[in-house]
Amino acid sequence: IKRVPTVVSNYQKDEAEETARRSGGCGKNCLRSCCIPGAKLPLYAFKKESEKDAFESENKEPPVAFLDSLVLGEWEGRMQRGLFRYDVTACETKVIPGEYGFIAQLNEGRHLKKRPTEFRVDKVLQPFDGNKFNFTKVGQEEVLFQFEASEDGEVQFFPNAPIDVENHPSVVAINVSPIEYGHVLLIPRILECLPQRIDRESFLLALYMAAEAGNPYFRLGYNSLGAFATINHLHFQAYYLAVAFPIEKAPTKKIITLNDGVIISELLKYPVRGVVFEGGNTLQDLSDAVSDACICLQDNNIAYNVLISDCGKRIFLLPQCYAEKQALGEVSVELLDTQVNPAVWEISGHMVLKRRKDYDEASDENAWRLLAEVSLSDERFDEVNALIFEAIGGGKDAIENVEEPDTKAQSIEKENGNTETSHHAMVAGTQQCLVLQ
């Protein structure tokens, strides 16, 4: 593996180089006003949920296979053109023996000469800064296609569509330093230059992308600032990995059901504490519940990661504090030396290791030790959940029930009948929150 700096675009240069390029003109086919007039990109228009049901009942085939032909096919085309900084398919990968089977990958190309993040790690919300790298600066050859809702209720694909600046297009682009096969970026409303903060519209778009892929091995992830997002321009990540993530195998305990059918559960027997959202009468219901929880965390300056699993039907929300502990000097030198920044993929159990030593010595115990440093304490986790449930529930009227049924584990592969319960009183914290309402 060629050892190169960790960047997401071939145009993510040092600020000095960017300044020099601006003074001499753009010189590349970017997504800014200098290059975008008259530009064309492929466009995939998806059906909104109410239309999707009717579409499926008609047994029509979409004009292009979204995952196999469009995402992965176009991604491989960019690989053949040499746009990636290394061949991720040559990275060594193994499943670590243990209960959940943590996945270890040796990816030495992602850490040497890594540019430090340009943003404070103690502020989840920070204003967009157009002078720093953002996705409007990428070359159009790195963009796979535009992704938006269909206007006429039919799935459509246009191989050469104009970029409608007034329509605020969302795009899917390659990550030139991929973690895994098919690693792409979903950038909602790219030309609006939104900072890295989730809103209802953008999160629903991410769920639609997961649903269009229609494959449980294609997941989307999100990192907030303070939880190892390094670019303050709204984006989700996604890639294809044909095994179950460890977090998907962990048991859960149902906490509440909202009136719209969304079920919120607590993650159990996993090194990082988190909550799981699933169900809902519509995809919009599920999306609104999760996005409202994310907005609550953002507004309270709590860093977090999100994993969108099971074709958009199951979402893991994981508040974390690793960067906070780093800043306070509370992380051991041993863990710091690994240079592993535990973002959404690592927290989900796909450990991207940057040193041969760490890969050779990878163990279930080492994975748990690292991820345990990411997790909130029991007490703080309960406090955060009280905030979340208050923001989502809006009082008792939005809550159908609060209960403690049998614990269950859900996974892509099979049900795990573990019935161990949590050792802290999350339900009590939820009920207290409802009383306060």
Per DSSP, the residues of 234-280 read: --EEEEE-SS--HHHHSEEEEEEEETTSEEEEEE-SSSS--EEEEE-
- Which residues lie across from 223 on neighbouring strands? 305
Contact 250, 348 (CB under 8 A): no
Condensed to tens digits (0 to 9), the pLDDT of residues 274-305 reads: 999 999 999 999 999 999 999 999 999 999 99
For residue 117, name the pLDDT band (cuts at 50, 70, 90).
low
Q: Does 187 have pLDDT greater than 60?
A: yes
Instruction: Note the pLDDT of residue 320.
Output: 97
Instruction: Note the pLDDT of residue 400.
Output: 53
What percent of the chain is modeled with pLDDT above 70?
A: 80
Contact 424, 380 (CB under 8 A): no
What percent of the chain is modeled with pLDDT above 90?
A: 69
- What is the spatial distance between Cα 79 and Cα 85, in angstroms, rounded to a whole number? 9
Instruction: Note the pLDDT of residue 63.
Output: 87
Contact 266, 430 (CB under 8 A): no
Superfamily of domain 40-50+64-399: ATP adenylyltransferase (3.30.428.70)
Instruction: Note the pLDDT of residue 153.
Output: 82
Condensed to tens digits (0 to 9), the pLDDT of residues 302-344 reads: 999 999 999 999 999 999 999 999 988 999 999 999 989 999 9
Contact 348, 245 (CB under 8 A): yes
For residue 15, name the pLDDT band (cuts at 50, 70, 90).
very low
Which residues neighbour 336 within 8 Å (Cβ) at sequence distance 6 or greater?
326
Instruction: Note the pLDDT of residue 412.
Output: 52
Q: Does 393 have pLDDT greater than 60?
A: yes
- For residue 362, give the nearest of 350, 347, 376, 379 by alpha carbon: 350
Catalytic status, residue 235: yes
The residue ranking higher by pLDDT, 392 or 411, is 392
What's the predicted TM-score (pTM) here? Answer: 0.87
Mean pLDDT to the nearest integer, 196-218 = 97
Given the residues 233, 235, 350, 424, the one annotated as active site: 235
- Which range of 229-233, 274-278, 321-325, 386-390 scores highest in mean pLDDT? It is 274-278
Sheet holding 93-95, edge to edge: 93-95, 103-106, 350-353
CA atoms within 13 A on the CB side of 294: 30
The overall average pLDDT reported for the chain is 85
Domain ranges of the chain: 40-50+64-399
The residue ranking higher by pLDDT, 419 or 56, is 56
Mean pLDDT to the nearest integer, 41-70 = 77
- For residue 413, give the nearest of 172, 228, 246 by alpha carbon: 246
Q: Does 110 have pLDDT greater than 90?
A: no
